[in-house]
């Protein structure tokens, strides 16, 4: 049976997620920005944490861990490649490894680029991928550590997942991402429609995360470097999609 996903707003614009298996009682937390909202959600639902899944080492994804573990002594899971920068890990994983949560095997995907050693957790039976600051709603994370080629390859892995996959990313950046996206894909009717919905949702304080991969494939400019209309909009007709991606990321950094 598919597992239950709960989205938890944290800090100013972060998201953490719970994934709960009713049959076993296993509950995994994806990232730990701050303890308060996460502990409150667990208490309200009567769930106990079995695992904490860390995507990368940035403070706004790990600083709440100690306070959470005081109440829920769960196994801490993270990337072998970034173990020296993460809090102490009980389980270290690399791309191609699997992790059993309840009755489902989560697949580990290396999505380096925002940071090196950033991982995503893909639950194929439930149809959800936790991408944190790699693929985001209408965007992708800044390239703090990896070159464009690395992030492009990481996004390509995620883009190859089934289109109906739910994408749980790490921040409520979608409205600002939408303002930028329309500048590099202005004639995309699906994007125009999505931008209007995002504006309405945010005006009503409705989260725009999670999103659906099919929507990202149709509207996210960071996944569309191969599209002739996007290439034309940035003056790079016929260019290598990696170079187009790099130019789009450069423009977003200066937007």
Per-residue confidence of the chain (255 residues) as pLDDT tens digits? 689 999 999 999 999 999 999 999 999 999 999 999 999 999 999 999 999 999 999 999 999 999 999 999 999 999 999 999 999 999 999 999 999 999 899 999 999 999 999 999 999 999 999 999 999 999 999 999 999 999 999 999 999 999 999 999 999 999 999 999 999 999 999 999 999 999 999 999 999 999 999 999 999 999 999 999 999 999 999 999 999 999 999 999 999
- Would you give the DSSP letter of residue 146? S
Instruction: Establish whether 133 is an annotated binding residue.
Output: yes
CB distance 119 to 110 below 8 Å? yes
Instruction: Establish whether 60 is an annotated binding residue.
Output: yes
Instruction: Establish whether 58 is an annotated binding residue.
Output: yes
Instruction: Establish whether 114 is an annotated binding residue.
Output: yes
Instruction: Establish whether 61 is an annotated binding residue.
Output: yes
Map residue 221 onto helix, strand or coil.
Answer: helix
Long-range pairs for 228-231: beta carbons < 8 A, 24 or more residues apart? 229/185, 229/187, 229/188, 230/184, 230/185
Sign of CA dihedral 44, 46, 47, 48: positive
* pTM of the complete model: 0.97
């Amino acid at each position: 049976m598919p597992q239950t996903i709960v989205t938890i707003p944290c800090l100013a614009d972060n998201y953490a997620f719970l994934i709960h298996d009713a049959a076993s009682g296993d509950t995994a937390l994806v990232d730990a920005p701050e303890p308060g909202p996460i502990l409150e959600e667990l208490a309200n639902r009567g769930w106990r944490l079995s695992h904490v899944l860390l995507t990368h080492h940035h403070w706004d994804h790990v600083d709440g861990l100690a306070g959470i573990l005081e109440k829920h002594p769960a196994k801490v899971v993270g990337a072998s490649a970034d173990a020296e920068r993460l809090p102490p890990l009980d389980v270290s994983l690399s791309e191609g490894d699997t992790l059993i949560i309840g009755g489902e095997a989560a697949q580990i995907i290396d999505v380096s680029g925002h940071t090196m050693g950033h991982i995503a957790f893909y639950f194929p039976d439930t149809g959800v991928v936790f991408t944190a600051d790699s693929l985001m709603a209408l965007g992708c994370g800044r390239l703090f550590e990896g070159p464009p080629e690395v992030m492009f390859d990481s996004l390509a892995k995620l883009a190859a997942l089934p289109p109906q996959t739910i994408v749980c990313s790490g921040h409520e950046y979608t409205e600002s991402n939408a303002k930028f996206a329309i500048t590099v894909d202005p004639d995309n009717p699906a994007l125009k429609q999505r931008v209007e919905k995002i504006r309405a949702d945010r005006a009503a304080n409705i989260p725009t995360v999670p999103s659906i991969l099919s929507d990202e494939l149709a509207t996210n400019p960071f996944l569309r470097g191969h599209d002739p209309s996007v290439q034309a909009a940035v003056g790079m007709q016929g260019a290598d999609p990696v170079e187009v991606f790099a130019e789009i990321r450069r423009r977003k950094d200066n937007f």
